[in-house]
Structure 1
Amino acid sequence: MIIKTKDNSNTLFSTKYNQHFHDLKTGAINESLMKHVIPALEFHKNKKKLKILDICFGLGYNTFSTINYILENKLNKELQIFSPELDLELIDSLKDFEFPQEFEKISYIIKKLIETKKYKDEKIEIELYIGDAREYIKKLNDIDIVYQDAFSSEVNSELWTVEYFTDIFSATNEEAVVTTYSIASNVRLSLYEAGFEIYENNPTGKRKQTMAVKNKKDIDAKYIDMKLKQTRNKELKALYD
């Protein structure tokens, strides 16, 4: 059943994970832009060619919002987007999904991608992989941006563990950034134990979120000292397979 979110974009409810695909109070488009697209593109504002890993494709909002944002703001960027999705039935159903009016200009991209699972033009290349994200990421390298947007660790723990983030670490380059809505301490510790440094940003002024990088940087975000957190909270544990 299609559900209208606050910004009038539509989302769905997953009966498998018992969660909505997007935060209803934020809105599907706004969530993609505020939690992933804008922070990641600002982080890489000087880089013209970007390789993005979108975990997981779902309804495609992160991928489509990225493309739309770049086109609307006339940013000189070339994109390679890789996105795994386990649910083929979901992807096939998107041919009838009512995407927001904001995506009308890229409807030809959406149509082609849903039909063939691939899209390519002079500046944009997308690969939609149907299968296990854990296996897929092992084949990737030199990724600049990771949208860590799986269902929450409470219901989809396999995409939040140290082992999983270690593979993400291997798939990314030294200047990469991981964006995620999760601020859970055990998720942050899992990222940290996989090799990432943790930062907290608050792009909307209402809700905090997490960014992770491989090396400490002077960025517009608060550094989170995970070693200190462990010292203060002996019960804090990372997530493992």
Structure 2
Amino acid sequence: MNSSIHQTKDGSSTVYSESFNQYYHNPNGAASESLHVFFEQPGVFSFLKEAPTLTILEVGFGTGLNFLLLLDYLKEHDLQVPVRFFSIEAFPVDAETAKEFDFTGHLKKPHLNTILPDIFRDLQPGMNSFKPVDELDVELIVFQGKFEDFSSEDVEADFIFHDPFSPGVNGELWTDEAFKKLASFSQKDTMLTTYCAASGARAAMAVAGWKVARARGALGKREMTLASRNAEKLEGFKRVNEERLIHRYKEGDFS
């Protein structure tokens, strides 16, 4: 996939995909957005303080930034929580591109930035497993392929990071079928988070059985979305009207 590297306003790297005509991250700040959307709002960091294990399922490995931020937090706080980080990526960047990624300004352990090129170099079609940091009990499992082809009986996620390109260019990952499939890799208390605030995406989640809420967006974006099949997990956030969205979805308002 044709792509080029850009520095976002917070100093961290992103990639511009010519194929999808979109940036991988918010140009106002790749690392800042990822921390807000995928870690702070859904409560991953607070979860790690008490959880015996952590399982994450990510749709869209992208630059590997979310994985890197998680490693950095574990190292910074000397946490030995066993972690399994599943990620799906249909169009990985090459290792030479990954060498140019710079997230060091947002890492307490800047040396972690160097692990990404090796991961991208070793990726093969299908399922790949990595243990990139010897002193951490963290396994990265990357499925190189399309979401529709991803299958695993081994995933019961605590958190789902839904981070593909937007519905306008990557619509197959924002349907009710996609969110039903994600539900099959989750448990009742699983939190799903995404940068996207589109009503059609929220409606698809609701049709798939997710309870849906809105939260403050990152860096100039008014809102983002959180979802769980357990409504209690969304206390403190403003819920959307799922019944109305389901009705509109079935009426074809978002087609």
Alignment length (residue pairs)? 237
2:59: which partner in 1?
A: 55
Matches for 1:21-100 after TM superposition, within 5 Å: 21-25=24-28, 27-40=29-42, 41-42=44-45, 44-45=47-48, 46-75=50-79, 77-88=81-92, 90-100=93-103
Question: Would the alpha carbon gap of residues 205 and 94 (structure 1) be closer, same or farther in structure 2, given more than 3 Å must change?
Answer: closer
Cα displacement (A) at 1:222: 1.2
Is 125-134 or 181-190 further displaced after alignment?
A: 125-134
> Matches of 2:95 and 2:176 in 1, distance apart?
32
Query: Is 1:197 the counterpart of 2:211 in the alignment?
Result: yes
1:19: which partner in 2?
A: 22
> Matches of 1:83 and 1:195 in 2, distance apart?
22
CA contact (8 A) 1:190 1:238 kept: no
Question: Would the alpha carbon gap of residues 186 and 233 (structure 1) be closer, same or farther in structure 2, given more than 3 Å must change?
Answer: closer
AA aligned to 2:160 is V
- Pick the aligned partner of 1:7 from 10, 13, 20: 10
Question: Would the alpha carbon gap of residues 193 and 106 (structure 1) be closer, same or farther in structure 2, given more than 3 Å must change?
Answer: same
CA contact (8 A) 2:213 2:239 kept: yes
CA contact (8 A) 2:60 2:88 kept: yes
Structure 2, unpaired ranges of 5+: 124-128
Question: Would the alpha carbon gap of residues 230 and 165 (structure 1) be closer, same or farther in structure 2, given more than 3 Å must change?
Answer: closer
Q: Give the secondary structure class of the aligned counterpart of 2:183.
A: helix
Is 148-157 or 104-113 further displaced after alignment?
A: 104-113
2:126: which partner in 1?
A: none
Cα displacement (A) at 1:149: 0.6
Query: Is 1:151 the counterpart of 2:165 in the alignment?
Result: yes
CA contact (8 A) 1:58 1:91 kept: no
1:220: which partner in 2?
A: 236
> Matches of 2:216 and 2:187 in 1, distance apart?
25
1:106: which partner in 2?
A: 112
CA contact (8 A) 2:33 2:218 kept: no
- Give the TM-score taking structure 2 as reference length: 0.82
Is 49-58 or 35-44 further displaced after alignment?
A: 35-44
Q: What do you get for the CA RMSD once the two structures are aligned?
A: 2.6
2:130: which partner in 1?
A: 119
CA contact (8 A) 2:155 2:185 kept: yes
- Residue by residue, what CA displacement relative to the aligned partner does 1:121-144 show, whole Å, maximum 9, x if unpaired? 441100122111222155553111
Matches for 1:126-141 after TM superposition, within 5 Å: 126-137=140-151, 139-141=153-155
